[in-house]
């Protein structure tokens, strides 16, 4: 008879992805100011976070390094990688309080790496200094060369911090997307 009578559930644990497991580890590490873990759990959390940061920092660095040199997304991702590696080099000092501080520090570094990893996975053309409604970002699979040319112009103006020029190019891009691709105009 199954452990749970009158059900078809045999008591097996559901299979979880590595991403959901590390999300829980990060969440637990960041909650150390409210929920204190026993020393054995701190050791386990530290080991998991160190493995994750070591592997993810390399992956984020490789992905970010493939972007253009002046890209603000690249610069921010590489800054997060340097900070995570710095925290990885630090170890817990003597005592329980120091071990908790170390786990929380690693948790924050892992969370920042996860954020950058997701940001880089999206594969969007970077938009420096402006984001949100009214800014058009294209995926790598966009076939229209005119769209890519306008986005490149906008990017160059943003790197030069010519925000008015970047906004004007973005408005031209919106007009082009409406006229050539039949997209609804953006409500800015």
pLDDT tens, position by position, for the chain (188 residues)? 455 566 665 556 666 666 777 888 888 888 887 778 888 888 888 899 999 999 999 999 998 888 777 777 888 899 999 999 999 888 777 888 888 888 999 999 999 999 998 888 875 444 444 444 456 666 666 778 888 888 888 888 877 777 788 888 888 888 888 888 777 655 44
CA atoms in the 13 A half-sphere facing the CB of 101? 9
Alpha-carbon span 58 to 9, nearest angstrom: 41
Is the distance from CB of 117 to CB of 169 less than 8 angstroms?
Answer: no
Cα dist from 76 to 107, 149, 175, whole Å: 18, 24, 31
Residue 108 near residue 30, CB atoms below 8 Å: yes
103 burial (CB, 10 Å; 0-12 / 13-18 / 19+) is buried
pTM flag (> 0.85):
no
């Amino acid at each position: 008879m199954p452990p749970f009578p009158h059900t078809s559930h045999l008591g097996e644990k559901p299979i979880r992805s590595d991403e959901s497991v590390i999300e829980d580890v990060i969440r637990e590490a960041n909650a150390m100011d409210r929920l204190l873990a026993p020393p054995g759990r701190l050791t386990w959390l530290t080991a998991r976070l160190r493995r994750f940061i070591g592997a993810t920092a390399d992956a984020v660095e490789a992905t970010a390094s493939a972007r253009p040199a002046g890209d603000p997304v690249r610069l921010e991702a590489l800054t997060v990688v340097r900070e995570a590696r710095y925290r990885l080099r630090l170890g817990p000092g003597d005592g329980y309080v120091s071990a908790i501080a170390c786990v929380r520090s690693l948790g924050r570094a892992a969370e920042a790496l996860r954020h950058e990893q997701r940001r880089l996975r999206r594969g969007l053309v970077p938009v420096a200094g402006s984001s949100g409604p009214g800014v058009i970002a294209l995926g790598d699979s966009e076939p229209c060369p005119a769209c890519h040319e306008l986005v490149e112009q906008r990017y160059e103006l943003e790197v030069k911090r010519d925000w008015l020029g970047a906004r004007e190019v973005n408005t031209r891009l919106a007009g082009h997307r409406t006229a050539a691709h039949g997209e609804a105009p953006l409500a800015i």
